[in-house]
């Protein structure tokens, strides 16, 4: 067997082995913020029976999301038990320095069954922490008010698992081509953001009627 043949064979083995390693890495690809896109998407829902589902892709530091929060809170009360409301994370880390850590705070609370309570606290106190250089102590204060196990909260807010969960939602929003927050999906279709409570109410009422007529 010639040395030339052995050299070519060795080169083929090296290249093939490199492809295997590359493919193995690609099955668990980190996002640019360190999360893994293989994590499952969040399922934070307030369930309704009509079959109508409204999903918000939101950023807790986003001023527009903060402005929509009171409107959505009113809708959740009005359509309680009828419409399913769901929230998914889309932290705009490029422009909001505390978007990621606030999402992680919400997920850390979710691990103790308090996602929606933390969700509301973050939005309703947005101006208190959005410009902070270290908002974590503020979030710990919210966690204490919610009666959370503080040792667990402090561990979970920093954990890789929590980051992976947030990054999975973020990766899904980017895959769908969403570029801003809040972005809403109604029954699986992206909608233009309604400008008022009345406009949002009409959308939901029409969606409910459509479901009833199917």
DSSP string, 174-199: HHTT--SSSEEEETTEEEPPPSSHHH
Res 9 pLDDT > 60: no
pLDDT given for residue 92 in this prediction: 98
Res 95 pLDDT > 70: yes
Res 7 pLDDT > 80: no
Mean pLDDT along residues 84-89: 98
Res 19 pLDDT > 50: no
pTM above 0.75, yes or no: yes
Res 107 pLDDT > 90: yes
Mean pLDDT along residues 153-158: 98
pLDDT bucket at 41, cuts 50 / 70 / 90: very high
- 183, 167, 171: which is closest to 56 by C-alpha? 183
Mean pLDDT along residues 32-47: 76
Weakest mean pLDDT among 24-33, 96-105, 176-185, 197-206: 24-33
**C-beta contacts of 149-158 below 8 A and 24+ residues apart:** 149/112, 152/108, 152/111, 152/112, 153/108, 153/109, 153/112, 156/107, 156/108, 156/111, 157/101, 157/104, 157/105, 157/107, 157/108, 158/104
36 against 124, higher pLDDT: 124
pLDDT given for residue 38 in this prediction: 60
**Under a CB-based contact definition with an 8 Å cutoff, are residues 51 and 82 in contact?**
no
Mean pLDDT along residues 42-69: 98
Radius of gyration (Cα) for the chain, nearest Å?
A: 22
**Chain centroid offset of residue 61 CA:** 13
CA distance 169 to 132: 24
pLDDT given for residue 39 in this prediction: 80
35 against 211, higher pLDDT: 211
- If one counts every other C-beta atom within 10 angstroms of the C-beta of residue 83, the result is 24
Mean pLDDT along residues 153-173: 98
pLDDT bucket at 25, cuts 50 / 70 / 90: very low
How does the average pLDDT of the chain come out, rounded?
87
pLDDT given for residue 22 in this prediction: 31
């Amino acid at each position: 067997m010639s040395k030339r043949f052995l050299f070519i064979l060795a080169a083929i083995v090296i290249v093939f082995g490199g492809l295997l390693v590359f493919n193995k890495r690609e099955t668990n690809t980190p996002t640019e913020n360190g999360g893994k896109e293989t994590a499952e998407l969040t399922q934070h829902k307030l369930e309704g029976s009509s079959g109508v589902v409204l999903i918000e892709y939101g950023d807790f530091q986003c001023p527009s999301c903060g402005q929509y929060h009171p409107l959505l809170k009113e809708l959740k009360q009005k359509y309680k038990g009828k419409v399913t409301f769901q929230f998914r994370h889309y932290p705009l880390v490029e422009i909001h320095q505390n978007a990621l850590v606030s999402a992680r705070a919400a997920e850390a609370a979710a691990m103790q069954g308090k996602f929606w309570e933390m969700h509301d606290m973050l939005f309703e106190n947005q101006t208190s922490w959005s410009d902070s250089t270290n908002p974590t102590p503020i979030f710990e204060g919210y966690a204490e008010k919610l009666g959370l196990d503080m040792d667990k909260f402090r561990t979970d807010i920093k954990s890789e698992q929590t980051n992976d969960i947030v990054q999975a939602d973020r990766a899904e929003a980017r895959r769908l081509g969403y570029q801003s927050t809040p972005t809403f999906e109604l029954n699986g279709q992206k909608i233009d953001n309604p400008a008022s409570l009345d406009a949002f109410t009409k959308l939901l009422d029409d969606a409910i009627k459509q479901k009833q007529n199917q």
